[in-house]
Copies of this chain bind each other. A is one copy, B any other.
Amino acid sequence: MAVTTELVEAAYQALATGERTEIERYWAEDMRWLVPGNHQLAGWWEGLDGFFSFMEQVGKLSGGSFVMTRSAILLSDGFSADISHNVGSRSAAREGSTSPYDRLEIDVVHVLRWRDDKVVEGRGAIFGDGTTRFNQFWSQLAADATRV
């Protein structure tokens, strides 16, 4: 069965519910996810459990502020790609701070590989110099090099 934009949207909406049974309908137990850059969340997260650990960390470090706005979904046989504008703040951010260690705004693409209508692999990548800022945002450092 072909991947459709509806299926991709449904998979992301399932994720947003945070409910495992809902999520398992679209994301395979043996899936893996590659976070771009070089920082505490970067690299391959293995299995649906690993993916949950990653999302839990994102939620904790960003105080649930992370928002992804999708603008396009592309398809091919067995693959999808979604283009997204992502915005977030660190939980530890100082009020009103514009520092890249506190605030993030990047344009990204996620490439998903599908098998039997479920995602088995996802890889993110960032446009422009957003990877530098992604590394700053997820840093174990505040702007003043305090470890947070």
Given the known interface contacts A74-B74, A76-B73, A109-B109, the answer about A43 and B145 at a Cβ–Cβ threshold of 8 Å is yes
Residues of B within 8 A of A98 (CB): 98-99
Asked whether A91 is an interface residue with its Cβ less than 8 Å from the other chain, the reply is no
**Copies of the polypeptide in the assembly:** 4
- How many A residues have CB within 8 A of the partner chain? 46
Give Cα A5 to B77, complex, Å. Answer: 11
Q: B43, B73, B111, B127: which contacts A147 (Cβ < 8 A)?
A: B43
Q: Mark A56-83, 1 if CB is under 8 A from B, else 0.
A: 0000000000000000111110011101
Which of A73, A83, A141, A146 lies at the interface centre, i.e. has the most chain B CB atoms within 10 A of its CB?
A141
Give 12 A-B contacts (CB < 8 Å), ordered by A residue. Answer: A34-B145, A36-B126, A37-B129, A38-B141, A43-B128, A43-B145, A44-B145, A74-B76, A98-B98, A108-B125, A126-B131, A128-B144
